[in-house]
A and B are shown apart, each in its own frame.
Chain A
């Protein structure tokens, strides 16, 4: 299983690394570009290039499904299906802007393949009663099923909401996935560790293109599919609490925005929490109607450069990974 995981991860990384510049060239040719507003020169950057992560992950998942046993096949099919639905929603949103509510409702559909496969194979995909340190399995019955649709839509949208700076998505999600991979290994869930390895390799192969100064933008197709993949791994491989801890900065940022604007709104309709000075310094906009986001809190009134804020977010992500690993260790002790 480990050799297969290694080969699939290598192929995922290779496919992502090769396909990113090809997709970037295609998107630039089609005029599908975004403006990097955090740079003084405001360069035009091809967007929706996170599609390469979807292609890389699909390659890796198919290889694992072909080489794995029956149990792993079912889990990987559920994982891939959820991620592809999120990617489709992201791609639609990239080309035809959806309202915040419509996008959130559409991402709720990402849970459907997991529910269907859990009904078909109840011994393989076991839903319900997430495991928490000290307590053990939570006695959630009806509430679990009420919250389940948010298990994938939540992380997908949370990752999407924090993806506002160069490299922040691959760096934070890469660190979170690394933490989840170690957490899965601590708990002896090796199939979960392999799924995390696939995502980690795709994100690391994508990072050189998206890091500061970005040559490509992920678009919603990239951020929604990566967030959905993290959520799907958490549900399928029973790593819910570890994933929640590892994604703390994303959840924190999403909570601030949703609580502040009291609902789901398209980010273009929300007053900007930060502004960019002529030299590229990002500062708190001071607008009382704008939500308190993570970037706003980190930039503050004194301001900071884009790459400095990304490093600060990475610091928070590292501490969240440590919390996730502590939770995994506490769970394993029990």
Chain B
């Protein structure tokens, strides 16, 4: 298989994994974090927003690192065309 087609399939796989992870994180936020009951409404709001943002931030961090890892291991290390 041609290199760019192989990489297209691999990148499609990365997109699939990222979507599955996003759905998982959204489910955790909706079912877990937003369901947590803390007495003080202000503290509850701070907790919900901070934790949800941290999880979404974690997802973006994972996305970025997968990209960098993929580029360095699969793209930057391959032999040049020699042209």
| Chain A residues close to B by CB (< 8 Å) | 132-135, 138-139, 245, 248-249, 252, 255-256, 259, 277-279, 281, 283-284, 286, 292, 294, 296-304, 308-309, 311-313, 315-316, 319-320, 323, 327
What band does the interface of chain B fall in when counting residues whose beta carbon is under 8 Å from A? 20 to 34
Q: Does B51 contact A (CB under 8 A)?
A: no
* Complex: chain B residue closest to A277, CB-CB: B83
In the complex, what residues of A have CB within 8 A of residue B36's CB? none
* Complex: chain A residue closest to B75, CB-CB: A300
CA distance A320 to B16 in the complex (A): 8
B6 to chain A, nearest CB (A): 9
Complex contact A297–B23 (CB within 8 A)? no
In the complex, what residues of B have CB within 8 A of residue A308's CB? 2, 4-5
Label chain B's interface by main secondary structure: helix
Q: Does B27 contact A (CB under 8 A)?
A: yes
In the complex, what residues of A have CB within 8 A of residue B8's CB? 298, 312-313, 315-316
A292-B26 contact, Cβ under 8 Å, with A248-B19, A301-B78, A303-B83: no
B46 to chain A, nearest CB (A): 13
B52 to chain A, nearest CB (A): 9
B60 to chain A, nearest CB (A): 8
Complex contact A309–B4 (CB within 8 A)? yes
Q: Does B47 contact A (CB under 8 A)?
A: no
CA distance A302 to B4 in the complex (A): 9
A76 to chain B, nearest CB (A): 30
A36 to chain B, nearest CB (A): 20
In the complex, what residues of B have CB within 8 A of residue A279's CB? 83
Complex contact A283–B26 (CB within 8 A)? no
Q: Does B68 contact A (CB under 8 A)?
A: yes
Label chain A's interface by main secondary structure: helix
In the complex, what residues of B have CB within 8 A of residue A245's CB? 19
In the complex, what residues of A have CB within 8 A of residue B3's CB? 300, 302, 304
* Complex: chain A residue closest to B77, CB-CB: A301
CA distance A323 to B71 in the complex (A): 23
In the complex, what residues of B have CB within 8 A of residue A278's CB? 83
CA distance A133 to B68 in the complex (A): 29
CA distance A286 to B65 in the complex (A): 19
Q: Does B76 contact A (CB under 8 A)?
A: yes
Complex contact A304–B15 (CB within 8 A)? no
Q: Does B9 contact A (CB under 8 A)?
A: yes
Complex contact B12–A316 (CB within 8 A)? yes
7 contacts between A and B (CB under 8 A): A132-B23, A277-B81, A283-B80, A284-B76, A294-B11, A316-B11, A316-B15
In the complex, what residues of A have CB within 8 A of residue B7's CB? 297-298, 300, 312
Q: Mark B20-31, 1 if CB is under 8 A from A, else 0.
A: 000100110011
B48 to chain A, nearest CB (A): 9
